[in-house]
Structure 1
C-alpha cells in the first residue's frame, strides 16, 4: 500500500515539479510538491538499496541504506551552499544528527516494541558506535566552537578544513575496522530469526532505479532550495527551524522508513545500524565533505554550530548512548527518544528568525 502511494506521488510529483519550476508557480505550493516528491523518490531509493543489501548482511545493508539516504540530503545541501544558505546547511546537519538518533531510532524502538516485548541487537556494535558518536559530535563539533572565538574567518575555515580531513580519514578507518580487519570478531546471538528473502528488484533494475531516482532528486532539490526564503517569510520559520526539522526530515526520509520497517520485522541490528550508522556518516563524512565542497563557492562553510544546535546534538548523543549501550530496547525507550525530539523541535520552532 505504501509503495503504491509512493509510486503515485512520483508519477504525479516529478511532472508537477518540472512544470511548476518552468511556469513559476507559487513558492509555497511548490515547496509542498517538492517535499512530497523527494520523500516519494527517497522511498524508491530505500527499496532499491534494500534489494541490493538483502544478500549483503546487516552491516552492509545498513551502510547502503544510510549512504543513499544521506545522498538526498547531501544533494540538497550542495545546492543550498551554492545559493549561499550556509545557516540552513549547518542546521540540516544538526537536524540529521538529532533526527536520526531521536526520531528514527525512537520510532524504530517504539514501533518494534509495540510488537515485541524486548528487542536485542549487537551490544559490541552499540558500544563501538558510542565512542565514535562522542568523538564526532562532542569533540569534532564542540572544539571548533571553543577555539574559533579567538580566530578570524580565515583561521576558522582553516581549522574547519583540518578537522574535516581528520573526520573523513577516521570514518574510512572505522569502516575498514568493521568490514575488513574485525569483521565477525564481535558477534552476539540475538532472537532475530534469519529468513531467506528474495529481493524485490533484480540487481540491474535496482541500480537503474537508484540512479534515476538520484538524478530526479538532484533536480527537485535544486528547485526546493529556492523556495526556502519565501516559505520562511510566509510561515515565520527561521533558517534554523527549516534546516533542523524540514530539510532533515525530507532529506532522510528513505532511512526513516527503512529503519522502522526493519524494527517491525525484528531486524534490530539493521535498524540500529541505519539510525546510528547514518548519524556517524553525517557527522564524520557528509559534514566535513560539505566543508571541503564549500571551498569551491563564494561563501565558505565553517564547521561551527550555534549553541542550541550543539546542545541539541550533545543531548541526542548522550541519551541515545544511555538507551542503546545495554544491547536491547523496548517501546518505552523509543517513546523517551521521541519525547526528546519533540521538545527540541518545539525549541527550534520558537527561536526567533
Structure 2
C-alpha cells in the first residue's frame, strides 16, 4: 500500500502542477488533485505515527488529529478566500460525521473482526463525550436559534464571541489532559506493555516529511477549490454534498488511515483519540479559527449551519456517546456507526 501511495505522489504532484499550468479539464484536475492529496495525507499519517510511537497514545493521537486536520484547514482557508462559505461549513460538518461515524465505525468494525472485544480508556471516552455534546449541541445550535432574532452584524458578533470561548476551552482541555491530569485517569483493564516498537522514520525525517507534504497539500488545495463549482454543475452535485462527503473524506484521509491501522493493531486508545480528538479539534479549534480568519476576507463566515447539518451532527454525537461510554467496542457497533454514515450520505446526496 505504501508503494502505491508513493507512486501516486510521484505521478500526482507533477501532473497537478502541469495540469494547472496548461488548464486541463476541471473534472480531470479534480480527480488528480483529490487522489494526490490522499496520497500526500498517507505520508503525513506515517510521519505522525512515527512521532506517536515516541510520544505516547494521547500526544500521538493529538498529533494525528492535528496534522490530519491541517489538510482540511488549508482547503477551508482557500475556500474562504474564494467566498465558498457553504462548502467550508459543509466540509466541517462532513469532518464531524466522518470522524464519529466513518473513521470510528471502520476502526471498531475492522478491529472487531480481528479481536472479538476491544477496550479503550473509559475515562477519556466520558470526558470526550461531555466536550462533544458541549461543542456541537451547545456551541453550534445556540447561534442558529438566537440568530433568528438578530441582524447580520449581531449574528457575526455572537459567532466571534462563541469562537473565542471555544478556542479557550479547547486549549484548557488540552492542558487538563496533558498537564494537570496526565495519567490520573488510567484505564483500569489496561495491562502495562513493555513491547518496544520501532518508529518507521526518525524524528527528523518524520518532521521533514510533514513539512514538505503540508507545502504540497497547500499548493494543490488552492487549485482544487477552483474546480468545485464546475464539478458540481457537471456531475449534479450540490455544494452541500461536495463539502460534507467529498472534501471531508479527502481532507481527513490521513487520520482515517491512521485510526484504522491502530485499531487493527489493537491500539484502541490511539484509534479513539484520533476519531474523537479530531472531531473535538474541528469543532472547538479549526471552525472557530476559520470564523476569525474570515474577518480578514471579503466574505465573513458566521457560525451558522443549516438545520440538516445540525441535526446530522447532533445525531452523530449522541450515537457515538451511547456506543463509546462503556469503554469497549466490537464489530457490530462499528457496523452501526457505518450504517448511520451511509444513511446521512444518501440524504445529503439527494438533498
With the shorter chain as reference, the TM-score category is over 0.9
Q: What's the CA shift for 1:9?
A: 0.4
Which aligned pairs between 1:284-323 and structure 2 lie closer than 5 A? Answer: 284-323=284-323
| Residue 191 of structure 1, CA deviation | 5.4
In 2, Cα distance between the equivalents of 1:256 and 1:148? 34
CA shift at 1:194, angstroms?
A: 5.2
CA distance in 2, matches of 1:215, 1:103: 27
Alignment partner, residue 340 of structure 2: 340
**Structure-to-structure mapping, 1:130-209, within 5 angstroms:** 130-190=129-189, 193=193, 195-209=195-209
Alignment match, 2:268: 268
Matches of 2:188 and 2:232 in 1, distance apart? 49
Q: Deviations over 1:26-66 (max 9, x none)?
A: 00000000000000000000111111111111000000000
Q: How does 1:72-83 map to 2 (within 5 A)?
A: 72-83=71-82
Report the alpha carbon displacement of residue 190 of structure 1 after superposing the two structures with TM. 3.6
Question: 2: CA distance between counterparts of 1:194 and 1:176?
Answer: 27
**Cα distance in 2, alignment partners of residues 156 and 127 from structure 1:** 32
Name the residue aligned to 2:37: 38
1:9 aligned partner: 8
Report the TM-score, using the length of structure 1 for normalisation. Answer: 0.98
1: CA distance between counterparts of 2:118 and 2:27?
A: 42
Distance 1:190 1:261, change over 3 A: farther
- CA separation of 1:140 and 1:194: change in aligned 2, threshold 3 A: farther
Unaligned runs of 5+ in 1: none
Offset, 1:188: 1.2
Matching residue of 1:217: 217
RMSD: 0.8
1:133-168: per-residue Cα shift (whole Å, max 9, x none)? Answer: 000000000000000011111111110000000000
SS at match of 2:183: coil
How far the C-alpha of 1:189 sits from its partner, in A, is 3.7
Superimposed CA distance per residue, residues 169-210 of structure 1 (whole angstroms, 9 cap, x where no aligned partner): 000000000000000000014457553111111111111110
- Matched residue, 1:245: 245
**Within 1, Cα distance between the matches of 2:195 and 2:276?**
24
Give 2:231's aligned residue: 231
2:254 aligned residue: 254
Moved more, 190-199 or 132-141: 190-199
Kindly provide the CA deviation profile for residues 86-112 of structure 1, in whole angstroms up to 9, marking residues without a partner as x.
Answer: 000000000000100000000000000
Which residue of 2 is the match for residue 114 of structure 1? 113
Distance 2:280 2:68 in 1: 13
**More displaced, 253-262 or 46-55?**
46-55
1:225-268 Cα distance to aligned partner (Å, 9 max, x none): 00000000011100100000000000000000000000000000
Paired with 1:154 and 1:19, the residues of 2 have a C-alpha distance of 43
CA distance in 2, matches of 1:178, 1:191: 18
For residues 291-325 of structure 1, the C-alpha deviation after alignment (integer angstroms, 9 at most, x for no partner) is 00000000000100000000000000000000000
Aligned to 1:89: 88
Equivalent residue pairs, number: 350
Output the CA distance in 1 between the equivalents of 2:259 and 2:283: 19
Note the residue ranges of structure 2 that are not aligned, 5 or more in a row. none
TM-score, structure 2 as length reference: 0.99
